[in-house]
């Protein structure tokens, strides 16, 4: 019976977890103003009405820069705790951190060698 009481919290959490994100969405949908208008559903960008075709094709280069930035941004998130715990680290943690830095540096040089960083 004691094990069942311990798992009751997990079951309650599983039942309540979808409610917390859904509840504000449902409340906002219920209390929103409902005044549809042609002007409200028209396409605009930065408050300026569009003239002509609004389709703009972006170059793949933007996405490559974004992905490379994201990789090195996430790298900093992983390296910050490693740097904070540097004095208390054993040899394995030290080697693992430098291996991580080496692999990311190698990926940067690979992208550089493939001219992924050249703006054309």
pLDDT, mean of residues 9-30: 93
In the chain the beta strands, taken as DSSP E runs, fall at 44-45, 48-49
Closest by CA to 107, choosing from 65, 55, 72, is 72
Distance CA 89, CA 52 (A): 61
Question: Each residue of 71-111: pLDDT tens digit?
Answer: 888 888 888 888 888 888 899 988 988 898 898 889 888 88
Model confidence, pTM: 0.47
Closest by CA to 75, choosing from 52, 59, 99, is 99
Domain boundaries of the chain, sorted by first residue: 2-49, 60-113
């Amino acid at each position: 019976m004691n094990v069942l009481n311990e798992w009751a919290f997990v079951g309650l959490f599983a039942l309540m977890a979808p409610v917390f994100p859904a509840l504000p969405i449902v409340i906002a949908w219920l209390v929103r103003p409902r005044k549809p208008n042609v002007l409200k559903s028209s396409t605009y960008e930065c408050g300026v009405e569009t003239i002509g075709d609004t389709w703009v094709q972006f170059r793949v280069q933007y996405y490559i820069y974004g992905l490379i930035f994201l990789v090195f941004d996430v790298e900093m998130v992983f390296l910050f705790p490693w740097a904070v715990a540097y004095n208390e680290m054993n040899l394995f943690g030290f080697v693992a951190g430098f291996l991580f830095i080496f692999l990311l540096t190698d990926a940067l040089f690979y992208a550089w060698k493939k001219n992924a960083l050249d703006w054309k």
